Amino acid sequence: MDKLRILCLHGYRQNEQTFRERTGALRKLLKSTADFVFISAPHVIPEEENLKRPPEQRERGWWFSRPERSYNALDETDISTGYEESLELVVHVIINKGPFDGILGFSQGAAFLSLLCQLQQDNSKLFGSGGFKFAIFVSGFQSLVKPHKSHYKAAISLPSFHMIGTGDQVIPVLSSETLSQHFTSSVIYLHHGGHYIPASTELREQMKLFLSQFT
Protein backbone atom coordinates (compact mmCIF):
# COMPACT_ATOMS: atom_id res chain seq x y z
CA MET A 1 0.00 0.00 0.00
CA ASP A 2 1.35 3.41 -0.97
CA LYS A 3 1.78 5.89 1.84
CA LEU A 4 -0.21 9.10 1.94
CA ARG A 5 1.72 12.31 1.27
CA ILE A 6 0.95 15.12 3.70
CA LEU A 7 2.19 18.70 3.26
CA CYS A 8 2.95 20.40 6.59
CA LEU A 9 2.50 24.11 7.37
CA HIS A 10 4.32 25.27 10.50
CA GLY A 11 3.22 27.78 13.10
CA TYR A 12 4.33 31.38 13.60
CA ARG A 13 7.97 31.66 14.74
CA GLN A 14 8.81 28.25 13.30
CA ASN A 15 10.27 26.98 10.04
CA GLU A 16 10.35 23.68 8.22
CA GLN A 17 13.32 22.45 10.27
CA THR A 18 11.87 23.20 13.71
CA PHE A 19 8.43 21.94 12.72
CA ARG A 20 9.89 18.67 11.45
CA GLU A 21 11.54 18.22 14.84
CA ARG A 22 8.33 19.00 16.73
CA THR A 23 6.31 16.49 14.73
CA GLY A 24 8.79 13.68 15.35
CA ALA A 25 6.56 11.69 17.72
CA LEU A 26 3.53 12.00 15.44
CA ARG A 27 5.52 11.01 12.38
CA LYS A 28 6.79 7.94 14.22
CA LEU A 29 3.22 6.94 15.14
CA LEU A 30 2.16 7.17 11.49
CA LYS A 31 5.37 6.00 9.80
CA SER A 32 3.62 3.10 8.07
CA THR A 33 0.74 5.29 6.90
CA ALA A 34 2.08 8.65 5.75
CA ASP A 35 5.09 10.59 4.55
CA PHE A 36 5.31 14.22 5.69
CA VAL A 37 6.72 17.02 3.53
CA PHE A 38 7.75 20.31 5.17
CA ILE A 39 8.13 23.80 3.75
CA SER A 40 9.05 27.15 5.29
CA ALA A 41 6.88 30.25 5.10
CA PRO A 42 8.43 32.94 2.88
CA HIS A 43 8.50 35.70 5.51
CA VAL A 44 11.31 36.02 8.05
CA ILE A 45 10.32 37.70 11.32
CA PRO A 46 12.29 40.99 11.23
CA GLU A 47 13.81 40.96 14.70
CA GLU A 48 17.51 41.64 15.17
CA GLU A 49 18.33 38.40 16.96
CA ASN A 50 16.37 36.38 14.42
CA LEU A 51 18.12 38.01 11.47
CA LYS A 52 21.53 37.09 12.94
CA ARG A 53 20.73 33.40 12.62
CA PRO A 54 21.63 31.32 9.53
CA PRO A 55 18.82 31.56 6.95
CA GLU A 56 17.62 27.99 7.51
CA GLN A 57 17.25 28.63 11.26
CA ARG A 58 15.32 31.90 11.09
CA GLU A 59 11.80 32.04 12.54
CA ARG A 60 9.13 32.72 9.94
CA GLY A 61 5.44 33.47 9.47
CA TRP A 62 2.77 33.13 6.80
CA TRP A 63 1.58 36.73 7.21
CA PHE A 64 1.78 39.65 9.64
CA SER A 65 -1.14 41.34 11.40
CA ARG A 66 0.64 44.50 12.57
CA PRO A 67 2.46 47.34 10.76
CA GLU A 68 5.82 46.48 12.32
CA ARG A 69 5.59 43.01 10.72
CA SER A 70 4.60 40.97 13.75
CA TYR A 71 1.62 38.70 14.33
CA ASN A 72 -0.97 37.93 16.97
CA ALA A 73 -3.75 35.39 16.38
CA LEU A 74 -6.22 37.52 18.34
CA ASP A 75 -5.76 40.69 16.24
CA GLU A 76 -8.94 41.73 14.44
CA THR A 77 -7.34 43.78 11.69
CA ASP A 78 -7.32 44.67 8.02
CA ILE A 79 -3.61 43.90 7.87
CA SER A 80 -2.43 40.61 6.33
CA THR A 81 0.99 41.61 5.04
CA GLY A 82 2.60 38.77 3.09
CA TYR A 83 -0.48 36.59 2.77
CA GLU A 84 -0.59 36.70 -1.04
CA GLU A 85 3.08 35.69 -1.31
CA SER A 86 2.45 32.75 1.01
CA LEU A 87 -0.52 31.65 -1.05
CA GLU A 88 1.58 31.82 -4.22
CA LEU A 89 4.26 29.69 -2.55
CA VAL A 90 1.86 26.96 -1.46
CA VAL A 91 0.15 26.88 -4.87
CA HIS A 92 3.59 26.53 -6.49
CA VAL A 93 4.62 23.72 -4.10
CA ILE A 94 1.42 21.74 -4.60
CA ILE A 95 1.54 22.04 -8.39
CA ASN A 96 5.27 21.33 -8.72
CA LYS A 97 5.99 18.97 -5.82
CA GLY A 98 2.59 17.35 -5.41
CA PRO A 99 0.25 15.75 -5.52
CA PHE A 100 -0.39 15.72 -1.78
CA ASP A 101 -3.21 13.68 -0.33
CA GLY A 102 -3.64 16.06 2.58
CA ILE A 103 -2.30 19.11 4.39
CA LEU A 104 -1.49 19.47 8.09
CA GLY A 105 -1.34 22.91 9.69
CA PHE A 106 -0.28 23.99 13.17
CA SER A 107 -1.42 27.25 14.81
CA GLN A 108 -0.99 30.04 12.22
CA GLY A 109 -0.34 27.32 9.66
CA ALA A 110 -3.72 25.82 10.61
CA ALA A 111 -5.45 29.18 10.15
CA PHE A 112 -3.78 29.42 6.74
CA LEU A 113 -4.92 25.88 5.95
CA SER A 114 -8.53 26.77 6.73
CA LEU A 115 -8.33 29.48 4.06
CA LEU A 116 -6.78 27.05 1.57
CA CYS A 117 -9.68 24.64 2.13
CA GLN A 118 -12.24 27.26 1.22
CA LEU A 119 -10.20 28.51 -1.74
CA GLN A 120 -9.99 24.98 -3.13
CA GLN A 121 -13.72 24.47 -2.62
CA ASP A 122 -14.43 27.70 -4.51
CA ASN A 123 -11.91 26.95 -7.27
CA SER A 124 -11.13 23.29 -7.89
CA LYS A 125 -8.42 24.26 -10.41
CA LEU A 126 -6.46 26.47 -7.98
CA PHE A 127 -3.88 23.76 -7.33
CA GLY A 128 -3.93 22.36 -10.83
CA SER A 129 -4.79 18.66 -10.80
CA GLY A 130 -3.16 18.20 -7.40
CA GLY A 131 -5.86 19.31 -5.00
CA PHE A 132 -5.79 17.82 -1.50
CA LYS A 133 -8.38 15.40 -0.11
CA PHE A 134 -8.27 16.16 3.62
CA ALA A 135 -7.00 18.63 6.20
CA ILE A 136 -5.47 18.11 9.65
CA PHE A 137 -5.61 21.02 12.11
CA VAL A 138 -3.52 21.27 15.27
CA SER A 139 -4.34 24.19 17.60
CA GLY A 140 -6.31 25.67 14.74
CA PHE A 141 -8.33 28.85 14.71
CA GLN A 142 -10.27 31.05 12.33
CA SER A 143 -8.22 33.92 10.93
CA LEU A 144 -9.48 37.22 12.33
CA VAL A 145 -8.05 39.26 9.47
CA LYS A 146 -11.09 41.07 8.11
CA PRO A 147 -10.46 40.29 4.41
CA HIS A 148 -10.36 36.59 5.36
CA LYS A 149 -13.82 36.55 6.95
CA SER A 150 -15.53 35.87 3.63
CA HIS A 151 -13.79 32.47 3.51
CA TYR A 152 -15.84 31.29 6.48
CA LYS A 153 -19.31 32.17 5.19
CA ALA A 154 -19.92 28.82 3.48
CA ALA A 155 -19.61 25.38 5.04
CA ILE A 156 -16.54 23.42 3.93
CA SER A 157 -17.14 19.85 2.82
CA LEU A 158 -13.50 18.70 2.86
CA PRO A 159 -12.95 15.97 5.51
CA SER A 160 -11.01 17.37 8.45
CA PHE A 161 -9.31 16.18 11.64
CA HIS A 162 -8.92 18.67 14.51
CA MET A 163 -6.47 18.19 17.40
CA ILE A 164 -7.47 20.50 20.25
CA GLY A 165 -5.58 20.83 23.55
CA THR A 166 -7.78 21.70 26.50
CA GLY A 167 -4.71 23.18 28.18
CA ASP A 168 -3.72 25.38 25.23
CA GLN A 169 -2.75 28.81 26.61
CA VAL A 170 -2.03 30.32 23.19
CA ILE A 171 -5.13 29.50 21.15
CA PRO A 172 -8.40 29.35 23.15
CA VAL A 173 -10.17 26.00 22.94
CA LEU A 174 -13.32 27.79 21.82
CA SER A 175 -11.45 29.22 18.82
CA SER A 176 -10.37 25.74 17.73
CA GLU A 177 -13.87 24.35 18.23
CA THR A 178 -15.39 27.24 16.28
CA LEU A 179 -13.09 26.50 13.36
CA SER A 180 -14.11 22.82 13.35
CA GLN A 181 -17.76 23.83 13.06
CA HIS A 182 -17.12 25.28 9.61
CA PHE A 183 -16.44 21.75 8.33
CA THR A 184 -19.35 19.44 7.61
CA SER A 185 -17.24 16.28 7.93
CA SER A 186 -14.96 16.87 10.91
CA VAL A 187 -13.36 14.63 13.52
CA ILE A 188 -12.35 16.26 16.81
CA TYR A 189 -9.58 14.82 18.99
CA LEU A 190 -9.41 16.46 22.41
CA HIS A 191 -6.29 16.03 24.54
CA HIS A 192 -5.29 17.48 27.90
CA GLY A 193 -2.10 19.07 26.62
CA GLY A 194 -1.29 22.55 25.45
CA HIS A 195 -0.03 24.32 22.34
CA TYR A 196 1.83 21.45 20.71
CA ILE A 197 1.35 18.37 18.55
CA PRO A 198 0.26 15.47 20.77
CA ALA A 199 1.24 11.84 20.34
CA SER A 200 -0.45 8.84 21.94
CA THR A 201 -1.67 5.38 21.05
CA GLU A 202 -5.24 6.69 21.13
CA LEU A 203 -4.38 9.47 18.67
CA ARG A 204 -2.65 7.00 16.36
CA GLU A 205 -5.72 4.79 16.22
CA GLN A 206 -8.08 7.70 15.60
CA MET A 207 -5.84 9.19 12.92
CA LYS A 208 -5.34 5.85 11.19
CA LEU A 209 -9.11 5.40 11.12
CA PHE A 210 -9.53 8.89 9.66
CA LEU A 211 -6.76 8.42 7.09
CA SER A 212 -7.93 4.94 6.04
CA GLN A 213 -10.67 6.50 3.87
CA PHE A 214 -7.98 8.05 1.65
CA THR A 215 -5.69 5.06 1.10
Q: Where are the domains of the chain?
A: 4-214
Rounded mean pLDDT, 44-73? 96
d(CA 212, CA 102) in angstroms, rounded, equals 12
Confidence of residue 124 (pLDDT cuts 50, 70, 90): confident
Q: Is 195 a catalytic residue?
A: yes
pLDDT of residue 129 exceeding 80: no
pLDDT at res. 1: 61
pLDDT of residue 13 exceeding 70: yes
Rounded mean pLDDT, 44-61? 96
Tens digit of pLDDT for each residue in 134-187? 999 999 999 999 999 999 999 999 999 999 999 999 999 999 999 999 999 999
pLDDT at res. 125: 85
pLDDT of residue 130 exceeding 80: no
Non-local CB neighbours of 109 within 8 Å, separated by 6+ positions: 8, 9, 10, 11, 19, 41, 62
Q: Is 124 a catalytic residue?
A: no
CATH fold, domain 4-214, is Rossmann fold (3.40.50)
Which candidate in 40, 65, 107, 160 is catalytic? Answer: 107
CB 98, CB 130: distance < 8 Å: yes
Which candidate in 35, 70, 75, 195 is catalytic? Answer: 195
pLDDT at res. 199: 87
CB 189, CB 164: distance < 8 Å: yes
Tens digit of pLDDT for each residue in 65-123? 999 999 999 999 999 999 999 999 999 999 999 899 999 999 999 999 999 999 999 98
Q: Is 148 a catalytic residue?
A: no
Confidence of residue 6 (pLDDT cuts 50, 70, 90): very high
* Cα R_g (the chain), whole angstroms: 16
0.85 exceeded by pTM: yes
Which candidate in 168, 175, 176, 191 is catalytic? Answer: 168
Confidence of residue 20 (pLDDT cuts 50, 70, 90): very high
